[in-house]
């Protein structure tokens, strides 16, 4: 029991670190539409270690924060993060192995699906959806997946993950 | 774990998911409720994070944008050399026409706190709020032109609705030509470039490509003369009662890092713009 608690508190430390990175480091990277989304990464790391219900609630809270920060269409972010959190948690229960590539792929897919739901729920805009869905979202998904790989390698003991090549 | 217990956990997971989806849909359908909730989240839970982001944003702009700012300062200094003679000439012409002093618009500088969601450019969080004198419906501009309007104001932050937002509208006219219309985003699904539309142009008026579009000042929200963009084509209009022109925007909200919030001149006295009554 003590071991489980220790693992859980380490997970929370990593998630807290990612939240700080999102607000303190991400703005310094520039290119906001391509820079890695640390909050989304934190949500997915939490989701694939939790039950789907808890992941959905975490997704809703992260999405609500996203809606508060970019209130273009309030509710779109909450809906997108809820769906992605829930699906990621279910997916983990079904097929995720402890493989760096698969983890990265799941995180990249999560970011892209989140962006797609947000864009579709927000309706048409001045720039259209094509560039956002086919260029900027995949680029953000890739940078987030690379960051995820780095985090998983650095904190694999804390996240209790045995990575295969 | 017993199968029954597993089933009940699964039911609880599904119930939690459905509740979260329902709450999200309620906020989508009733944006006024969502606004209240998100505003509370911004001023409470997210406040320290936004403070952190503002410091990071300031640090980035102070380093990376130094060269750009220096170039802009050099251009401004060059233009300012002609300012005294222009000012004197303007004053002389105004006095000849019997006009008073030109109104000056106070402004508040602010940093843009960009976010990671793909709809970031439609609204912008600005690092100045009520404490700095910002009010709802103050115009937001960058050095290139019009960005949008302040929609919600909080003590230290404000939220601007940019021209990329589907609800954005502004009265505009062309220079030269004085053709009036309403500017708004060119809403599209498959496009790849962010564009504006100048709608409501009378069918008898035509605007050549390359014409500058600026705000007209009608409506009292945006001051007259802020560059909006340049006409680069004509869109098809089905009813045949108006002309619609496509406008390439002057300023891009997604790239804006520092902006000026023009304080609404409603609060400033306008008496100085008029000649004093000569009647005894």
In tens, the pLDDT along B101-154 reads: 666 778 888 989 988 888 888 999 999 999 988 999 999 998 888 999 999 999
**Is B234 within 8 Å of chain A by CB?**
no
CA A13, chain centre distance (Å): 16
Share of chain B above pLDDT 90, in %: 24
Tokens of A134: 């086919």
Q: In angstroms, rounded to a whole number, what is the distance separating the alpha carbons of residues A89 and A73?
A: 26
CB contact B67 to A (< 8 Å): no
Q: Which value, in Å, is the radius of gyration of the alpha carbons in chain A? A: 15
Q: Tokens for B218, please give them.
A: 């009608």
The band of B190, judged by pLDDT with boundaries at 50, 70 and 90, is low
Q: Contact B115/A70, CB-based, under 8 Å? A: yes
Chain-chain contact of B55 with A24 (C-beta, under 8 angstroms): yes
pLDDT of residue B278: 44
Whether this model's ipTM surpasses 0.85 comes out as: yes
Q: Which residues of A72-90 are buried (b: 16+ CB within 10 A; e: fewer)?
A: bbbbbbbbbbbbbbbbbbb
Q: Which two tokens stand for residue A158?
A: 């804390």
Cβ-contact B146, B161 below 8 angstroms: no
What is the chain B residue with the closest CA to A133? B118
- Between A143 and B3, the more confident residue is A143
Structure tokens at A84: 């992605």
Q: What is the pLDDT of residues A101-154, one digit of tens each?
A: 888 888 999 999 999 999 999 887 766 678 888 888 999 999 999 999 999 889
What phi and psi, each to the nearest 5 degrees, are found at residue B259? -130, 165
User: What is the sign, positive or negative, of the torsion defined by CA atoms of A86, A90, A91, A92?
Assistant: positive
Could you tell me if B39 lies within 8 Å of chain A, comparing CB atoms? yes
Tell me which residue in A20, A53, A66 faces B117 most closely, judged by beta carbons.
A66
Please give the average per-residue pLDDT across B165-181, as a whole number. 87
Disruptive mutation site among A15, A22, A27 for chain B (greatest number of B CBs within 10 Å)? A27
Chain B residue with minimum CA distance to A138: B118
Give the pLDDT score at B279: 41
| Residue A10, min C-alpha distance to chain B (Å) | 21
B64 touches chain A (CB under 8 A): yes
Average pLDDT of every residue of chain A:
86
B60·A30 Cβ contact <8 A: yes
Please give the average per-residue pLDDT across B261-279, as a whole number: 56
- Lowest-pLDDT range, A2-6, A39-43, A111-115? A2-6
pLDDT at B280: 40
3-class DSSP assignment, residue A32: coil
> Looking up tokens 């390439």, which residue turns up?
B248
- By Cβ distance, the residue of A19, A78, A140 closest to B23 is A78
Residue B73 has pLDDT above 50, yes or no: yes
Average pLDDT over residues A20-27: 90
- Chain A nearest CA to B13, separation (Å): 4
Min Cα–Cα distance to chain A from B32, Å: 9
From B208's Cα to the closest Cα of chain A, the distance in A is 22
Query: CA-CA distance, B31 to B48, in Å (whole number)?
Result: 25
Query: Cβ contact (<8 Å) for A60 and B45?
Result: no
Decide if B65 touches A, using CB distance below 8 A.
no
């Amino acid at each position: 029991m003590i071991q489980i608690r220790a693992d859980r508190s380490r997970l929370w430390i990593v998630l807290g670190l990612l939240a700080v990175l999102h607000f303190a480091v991400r703005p310094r990277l520039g290119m906001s539409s391509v820079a890695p989304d640390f909050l989304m990464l934190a949500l997915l790391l939490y989701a694939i270690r939790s039950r789907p219900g808890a992941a959905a609630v975490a997704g809703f809270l992260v999405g609500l924060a996203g809606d508060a920060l970019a209130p273009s269409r309030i509710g779109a972010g909450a809906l997108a993060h809820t769906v992605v959190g829930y699906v990621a948690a279910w997916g983990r229960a079904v097929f995720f192995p402890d493989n760096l590539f698969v983890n990265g792929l799941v995180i990249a897919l999560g970011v892209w699906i989140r962006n797609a739901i947000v864009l579709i729920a927000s309706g048409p805009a001045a720039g259209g959806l094509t560039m956002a869905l086919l260029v900027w979202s995949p680029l953000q998904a890739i940078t987030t997946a690379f960051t995820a790989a780095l985090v998983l390698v650095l904190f694999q003991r804390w996240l209790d993950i045995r990575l295969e090549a | 774990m017993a199968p029954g217990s597993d089933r009940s956990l699964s039911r609880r997971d599904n119930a939690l998911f459905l509740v979260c989806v329902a709450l999200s849909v309620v906020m989508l359908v009733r944006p006024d409720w969502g606004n209240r909730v998100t505003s509370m989240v911004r001023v409470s839970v997210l406040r320290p994070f936004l403070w952190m982001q503002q410091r990071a944003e300031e640090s980035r702009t102070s380093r990376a944008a130094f060269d750009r700012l220096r170039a802009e300062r050099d251009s401004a200094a060059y233009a300012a050399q002609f300012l005294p003679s222009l000012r004197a000439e303007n004053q002389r012409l105004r006095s000849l026409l019997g006009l008073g002093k030109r109104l000056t618009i106070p402004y508040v500088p602010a940093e843009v706190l960009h976010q990671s969601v793909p709809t970031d450019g439609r609204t912008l969080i600005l690092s100045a709020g009520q404490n700095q004198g910002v009010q709802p419906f103050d115009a937001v501009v960058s050095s290139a032109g019009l960005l949008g309007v302040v929609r919600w104001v909080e003590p230290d932050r404000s939220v601007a609705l940019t021209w990329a937002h589907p609800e954005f509208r502004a009265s505009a006219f062309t220079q030269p030509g004085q053709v009036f219309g309403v500017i708004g985003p060119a809403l599209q699904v498959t496009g790849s470039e962010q564009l504006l539309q100048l709608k409501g142009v009378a069918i008898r008026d035509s605007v050549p490509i390359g014409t500058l579009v600026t705000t007209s000042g009608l409506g009292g929200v945006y001051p007259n003369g802020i560059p909006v963009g340049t006409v680069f084509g004509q869109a098809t209009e089905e009813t045949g009662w108006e002309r619609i022109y496509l406008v390439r925007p002057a300023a891009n909200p997604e790239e804006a890092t520092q902006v000026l919030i023009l304080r609404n001149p409603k609060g400033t006295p306008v008496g100085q713009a008029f000649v004093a009554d000569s009647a005894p």
